Amino acid sequence: MKQFICVLTNLIALSCYAETTSLSSHQLVPHKAHYEAHIDHGLSLSGTATRELRKLENDAWLYTFYVDTLPATIHEQSTFSITDQMITPSLYSYALEGTFIKNRYQRVEFFDDTKIKERYKKKEWTYTNAGPTLDRLSYQLQIQLDNAFSNADEFDYQVAHKGSIRKYRFKAIGEQTIETKIGTKTATIIEKVREGEAQRETKFWIDTESPYALLKFIQTESDGEKYEINITRLETN
């Protein structure tokens, strides 16, 4: 149950971008995306998730995430700006609340590249001179942007999370045509690169056409437990 909630929280990576005539003029598209999730390991659980990207004043953006499962609800959001296709977060918050679990709250404030403050449960941390760093939502948007508009096939990010600046690496491994509830799509397959002999496998499928939405996500554990997330509806403004 705990891992199912974590998968919904951390690994649904979805965002939308509009394609324009030049690389420097690509803009984020306000949107709302809906997903269904399933776990398969001798136990059947399901949940739904919704994410919405909204344009705020002063060139800021708000990215919100809501997930509803039988044991808990999750509210997560990131406020950020974007310059030259690089996302710069300013505030991130997370709340996990439920009947049979312990509530958890997290907040990360980004002052600039030289100072970040994080609070998780009752602990607090301050990071200095960390360089460009993202939060648990904004790095997912950055993957979508980099995959759509850069020539790279590997993507590296710094993420502030639970007391440390963590290094995340992803790799594009090919394309595949898949059937979804929003139609037949050609997707780029992105895989999380793990160090050593880690047995967990994480892959997600990103649409190759605008607005470059996440279409599908699969995570397989070393014991065979499988989590799958699929898009059900996409609304763009």
Residue 203, pLDDT > 70, answer yes
Q: How far is CA 20 from CA 29, 47, 55, 61, 199, in A?
A: 12, 35, 18, 19, 40
CA dist 17 and 148 (Å) reads: 9
Burial-class residue 164 by CB neighbours within 10 Å (0-12, 13-18, 19+): exposed
Name the band, by pLDDT with cuts 50, 70 and 90, for residue 16.
very low
CA dist 231 and 133 (Å) reads: 28
Here the tokens at position 57 are 């004043």
- pLDDT, one tens digit per residue, over 85-105 is 899 999 999 999 988 778 999
CATH number of 2-236: 2.50.20
pLDDT, position 134: 97
CA dist 212 and 142 (Å) reads: 12
- Chain center to CA of 94: 13
CA dist 15 and 140 (Å) reads: 8
pTM of the model: 0.82
Using an 8 Å Cβ cutoff, are 233 and 48 in contact? no
pLDDT, position 41: 58
pLDDT, position 209: 83
Looking at per-residue confidence, does 70 or 124 come out higher? 124
- List, in order, residues 6 or more apart from 178 with CB less than 8 Å away: 184, 185, 187, 205, 215, 216
Looking at per-residue confidence, does 37 or 135 come out higher? 135
H or E segment to which residue 121 belongs: none
Q: Is 214 helix (H, G, I), strand (E, B) or coil?
A: strand
User: Where do the domains of the chain lie?
Assistant: 2-236
Among 76, 66, 80, 148, smallest CA distance to 106 is for 76
Look-up of token digits 């998968």? 7
